[in-house]
Structure 1
Amino acid sequence: MLVYDGDCAFCTTSVTYAEKYVRPDCEVTAWQFADLDALGVTRERAEYELLWITPGGAVYGGAQAVAKLMLSGRGAWAPLGALLRLPPVSWAAHGVYRVIANNRDRMPGGTPACALPADRRPDTMTRP
């Protein structure tokens, strides 16, 4: 399962792109609609980074979640995902992921809501 921040326009746009072009073999859901307790993750972690959760309950976050997403994709995406897991590429991927995630409100498609903590965001979605 891929879990992302559904309140963030940049995140939603990125996931929509991945669903269309990478075509991962997984369920995709916004954390706002997920049973985080059942998935074994906290709200804080789900707000902080993209999450990839295996059927066995292993949780990968950030750049490693992107790598897992790509590994489950079709075509040339899988080799790119494998590359993202190898040092030193994985170290660079982590740094790039954090820069993008920390500035997602400034990214194309980002909105001011992307920068706010969840308890201060406009309530545009119904939460479970």
Structure 2
Amino acid sequence: MPATVVFDGDCLFCQRSVRFIHRHDRRDRFRFAARQAAAGTRLLAEAGVGLAPNSMVLLDEEGTWLRSDAVLRIAVQLGRPWSAAGVLLLVPRPLRDAAYRVVAAIRHRISGMLPACELPDAALRAKILE
């Protein structure tokens, strides 16, 4: 089964992150589920995560990953140049997650500075679990 990224479907910043992952996912490794959708809620419950507010979640064959672990593991799987971010996994998790929490706390303000998101193309829609 492909890795699944569970994201906040109400957050423009998160939606743009999903588009970025999809655009750079050359090996077709990822599927996506908004945490507000039935599939996202079910996957989070099965993983024992709850609704995981303010956290992107990666579910893959190795486990369930939250916050900076999720983002960096996704980057590693995207290949070059994004995989270079994997070196940040050597930074202690509390430090990485502190930086993640800062971005998570201001993501809605960041979203307000971004242009409106267009509808996903057919290829991305096929990867979104309902």
Same fold (TM over 0.5): yes
Gaps of 5+ in 1: 112-127
* 2:127 paired residue number: none
Gaps of 5+ in 2: 115-129
Provide, for residues 12-61 of structure 1, a one-character-per-residue CA deviation record: whole Å limited to 9, x for no partner: 11221222135562212211222132343201x1x2200011235x2111
Partner letter of residue 68 of structure 1?
Answer: R
1:11 aligns with 2:14: yes
Q: CA separation of 1:50/1:5 partners in 2, compared to 1, >3 Å: closer, same or farther? A: same
Which protein has the bigger strand share? Answer: 2
TM-score after normalising by structure 1: 0.69
TM-score after normalising by structure 2: 0.68
Residues 58-77 of structure 1: pairs in structure 2 closer than 5 A: 58-77=63-82
Partner letter of residue 54 of structure 1?
Answer: D
Q: Note the aligned Cα RMSD (angstroms).
A: 2.5
Aligned length: 107
**Runs of 4+ off more than 6 Å:** none
Residues 1-128 of structure 1: pairs in structure 2 closer than 5 A: 1-21=4-24, 23=26, 25-33=29-37, 34=40, 35=42, 36-43=44-51, 45=52, 47-55=53-61, 58-80=63-85, 82-87=86-91, 90-109=93-112
CA contact (8 A) 1:64 1:85 kept: yes
Partner letter of residue 32 of structure 1?
Answer: Q
